Amino acid sequence: MSEQKKHKSAFKNDGMFNNASHLIFELAKDLRRNMTDAESLLWNHLKAGVKGLKFRRQHPIGIYIADFYCHKLRLIIEIDGSIHNVKEVKDNDLKRENDLKEWGNTIIRFTNERVFKSIDSVLDEINTIVENLINNSKELPKQ
């Protein structure tokens, strides 16, 4: 009898969506239709991939939605508008970030302002982080 390769479900714990509910998927779909200008600008650069890796936009992970997500690297990119300077929002961001890191993700954040004023440096930083994660990964071929 040949051994069958077991595939993990993307919807289970530690899967690509980490138990995200159908409500989170609906919200993510709405967010994809109504991206901010900064998210749209960055998406125009990320949608072709980075170093051959695919990024998703407004991607459900558990009870959260990541602005951009690369599952192979478990890399989340967040774009923050001025609302993220409000104390309550900062507190929620911290809780969210701690949960996502606890689930094995790496998170990087950029402000809307930086995306607009310095997209090249944002892309350089993303490329550097992707390269570092690839080089530290046991599963991905080194660049």
- Check residue 5 and give its pLDDT: 45
pTM check: above 0.95: no
For residue 61, the enclosing domain spans 22-131
Whether 47 is covered by a domain: the verdict is yes
Domain count, the chain: 1
| Nearest C-alpha neighbor of 137 from the set 17, 42, 32, 52 | 52
| Predicted pLDDT of residue 18 | 54
pLDDT, position 10: 47
Contact of 23 with 31, CB cutoff 8 Å: no
Which CATH number do you get for residue 121? 3.40.960.10
- Which neighbouring-strand residues pair with 79? 110
Domain contains 136: no
pLDDT value for 107: 96
Judge whether 11 lies within some domain: no
pLDDT at 3: 42
Residues of the chain with pLDDT under 70: 1-32, 85, 140-143
